[in-house]
Chain A
Amino acid sequence: MSSTEIGSFGVEVERAETEARLGPSRPQPEPKWSNLHAPDARLACADAVVVRPGARELRLFVANPNALAGLLILAAVIVAALVAPVLFPGDPLAMTGQPLQWPGQSAGYPLGTDQLGRNVLAGIFHGARVSLVVGLVATALGLAIGVLVGAIAGYFGGWIDTLLVRVIEIFQTLPSFVLLVVLVFIAQPSAPTITLGIAIISWPQVARLTRAEFRAIREKDYVMAARSLGFGSARIIFGEILPNALPPLIVTSSVMVATAILMESALSFMGLGDPNVVSWGSMIGAGREVIRSAWYLTALPGLAIVLIVLSLNLIGDGLNDALNPRFAEDRR
């Protein structure tokens, strides 16, 4: 309906125009009728207040030296993973030199070679790829499943909630690493099955967290408002509740990546890794056989794991401090 069509209705037109303008922009003051209207809250609000989502959190995060250090280490590992095929072309599992050279013994092998003459430095660079990919993909999958299940359980409640909580409980009762070993054993070890296995054991934690958040947020006024505007369930879940439930999920996800990397390394240490790619865990497993004479073969890949997991935990702590200021006060 355009305003020219109903131009003869006088006052009605003005109201219609006001309503049309009520959308995104501030309504203009109307001198003629201002004394008849209740003051519009949006007229009183100052122009200067600009809400940039995430700006305060970002500032807090960047001001945190621990978090920045974590970010730097993680960036270094990502760069190492990206340049691995350029710096060390060819198969890192191929024999290239004299076996069992100690770090620094030969200029061509800064970190030495293992008992089969494989370059340790090349292995560590290539191992970063597996750790990162498995960690990130498993976390993404786990988050997707967990958020979906938790959102459905928390938003709808009732019997579907009871059922899903039961399923979550079953998965949380099964010792997760033992379950992971069984799953990988059944599905045959390879990078995709390990990733999927880690996702399967990590989603219940996300689901539980999401469900708790959804149950709390579902009662808030803005959700009620969205519902009374006739929004569908999917739009309320993903458009209204999920963005507000994100902070704890973001913190959890960085710790999940760290846990996934630890799990992958433990699996490949036990010989349940992908046999065709080099991984830090499998390097430790192989180095263990000669631990008495060449302990550096065990120590170096382990240090790489410690560094990346530490960086992710530092980032997780920083995110937690930035996103949950209530808990941050006592920490600094």
Chain B
Amino acid sequence: MAAAQRIGRTLLRTALHAAPTVLGIVILNFFLLKLAPGDAADAIAAQDGSATAETMASLRHTWGLDNPTLVQLVTYLDNLAHFSLGTSPHWGVPVIDLIAQRLPGTLILMAVSLGIAIVIGLALGAVMANFAGRLPDRLISVVSLLFYSVPGFWIGLMLIVLFSVTLGWLPTGGAGAIGSRLTGLAAIVDKARYMILPATSLALFYVAIYARLTRASMLEVQSQDFVRTARAKGVSPLAVTVRHVLRNALIPITTLAGMHVGAMLGGAVVVETVYNWPGLGRLAFEAVMGRDSNVLLGILLFSSLLVIFANALVDLLHAWLDPRIGAHA
């Protein structure tokens, strides 16, 4: 079967499978919004400082907040179909604009963290599997358990104390030097200096997971016949580890990395708060502080869609990497 056909079929299946989930999430989101304390009229009234019962009623009427719940649900779905998530009473801007403005920051942070986590995790896991049961294995397994137990926001603060306050090597927060007109390589270096601490704080937990997973799946692959064949025909140990063992051990790791997108978004919320990183997470924190449920639920909805999108991407990647996966669908 041609690869393109396989991928097309996977895409269709994923879309069909995701549709009811998306609908369920949208409806859940709507009811959470209804449960949130105070509606848009309350928020406006609170900002004005003076609002009579009559103006509140007329505001509610204008926005259709006095309609039956089902009618409101239909309106909400209609708005969503036009990519409208309502307006933020706190910022006075459409929610979708706020999210679009902050999304790239979070995506970059997550991508860099995931990259760091996978590279370091794979390396540590490969070392552990190579020395299984011996001292390096035990040492790294203790360290990875420690990484697994440390709260991301706390390690973030400790890194700030060490690298920013004490040593003064790296900035404490933000996303770039204010008012800098750097270009080319200097701009990238500047970005990287701001990126490295938040990305490391977010990555540590996943380094631990990937290291343990790599170790387990490499040990499993190592005992298989094709590895023995490769050794028997004289392939160098390094080539066996990298090309035969590690490559096959990658499949469970890509699956897991796709599943971690949602959890990583959650971690980003806290880490972005620590580092004042301009992303969705800090927007969520600011929405909590500003009691802005419109923005908060917009973020929840948007990040769920992001997770579905990431899962579909991993499915496609698998269909492309491994012909067996798409074939019997």
Contacts and interface: CB of A to CB of B under 8 A. Distances in A.
A299 B158 contact: yes
B263 interface: yes
Contact of A185 (B216, B266, B293): B293
Nearest to A307: B149
Contacts of A298: 154, 157-158, 161
A103 to B, nearest CB: 15
Given A181-B296, A186-B36, A291-B165, A175 B151 contact: no
B303 to A, nearest CB: 5
A331 B311 CA distance: 31
Interface in B237-287: 262-263, 265-267, 269-270, 273-274, 284-285
B151 A305 contact: yes
Interface string A173-209: 1111111111101101000000000000000000000
A152 to B, nearest CB: 19
B299 interface: yes
Given A306-B146, A306-B151, A178 B284 contact: yes
Contacts of B37: 186, 188
A292 interface: yes
Interface stretch (B4-12, B21-29, B54-62, B83-91): B21-29
A173 B25 contact: yes
Given A270-B270, A270-B288, A295-B161, A313 B145 contact: yes
Given A178-B265, A178-B266, A295-B165, A185 B296 contact: yes
B269 A170 contact: no
A275 to B, nearest CB: 14
A75 B260 CA distance: 32
A182 B133 contact: no
B145 A310 contact: yes
Contacts of B311: 173
Given A175-B304, A186-B32, A291-B157, A306 B150 contact: yes
Nearest to B35: A186
Do most interface residues of chain B lie in helix, strand or loop, or is the interface mixed? helix
A330 interface: yes
A143 B116 CA distance: 33
B266 A176 contact: yes
A163 B273 CA distance: 37
Contacts of A310: 145-146, 149
Nearest to A303: B154
Interface residues of A, number: 46
B196 interface: no
Contacts of A15: none
A269 B270 contact: yes
Interface string A290-332: 0110010011001001100110011001000000000100111
Contacts of A180: 266
Interface stretch (A41-49, A233-241, A258-266): A258-266
A173 B21 contact: yes
A272 interface: yes
Contacts of A169: 21
B232 interface: no
Given A288-B157, A291-B165, A182 B300 contact: yes
B266 A302 contact: no
B148 interface: yes
A78 B160 CA distance: 31
In the complex, which of the residues B36, B154, B299 has the most CB atoms of chain A within 10 Å of its own CB atom?
A: B154
B47 to A, nearest CB: 19
B307 A173 contact: yes
B219 interface: yes
A313 B148 contact: yes
B289 interface: yes
A185 B152 CA distance: 21
B210 interface: no
A7 interface: no
A80 to B, nearest CB: 18
A174 B25 contact: yes
Given A186-B293, A298-B157, A306-B149, A177 B266 contact: yes
A205 to B, nearest CB: 11
Interface string B304-319: 1001100100000000
A185 B287 CA distance: 10
B206 interface: no
A169 B19 CA distance: 12
A174 B157 contact: no
In the complex, which of the residues B132, B153, B304 has the most CB atoms of chain A within 10 Å of its own CB atom?
A: B153
Contacts of B146: 306, 310
B297 interface: yes
B126 to A, nearest CB: 15
A166 B22 CA distance: 11
A330 B262 contact: no
Contacts of A29: none
26 contacts: A166-B21, A167-B24, A169-B21, A170-B24, A170-B25, A170-B28, A173-B311, A174-B304, A175-B265, A177-B263, A177-B267, A177-B270, A178-B266, A178-B284, A178-B300, A182-B296, A183-B32, A186-B35, A188-B37, A262-B151, A271-B288, A298-B161, A302-B154, A306-B151, A309-B149, A330-B133
Enumerate the 6 nearest inter-chain pairs by beta-carbon distance, A residue then B residue, closest first.
A177-B266, A302-B154, A175-B262, A310-B149, A309-B149, A175-B265
Interface of A: 166-167, 169-170, 172-183, 185-186, 188, 258, 262, 265-266, 269-272, 284, 288, 291-292, 295, 298-299, 302, 305-306, 309-310, 313-314, 317, 327, 330-332
Given A262-B151, A266-B270, 9 more contacts: A173-B262, A175-B303, A177-B263, A185-B36, A269-B151, A270-B288, A305-B151, A306-B146, A310-B145
Interface of B: 20-21, 24-25, 28, 32, 35-37, 132-133, 145-146, 148-154, 157-158, 160-161, 165, 216, 219, 262-263, 265-267, 269-270, 273-274, 284-285, 288-289, 293, 296-297, 299-300, 303-304, 307-308, 311
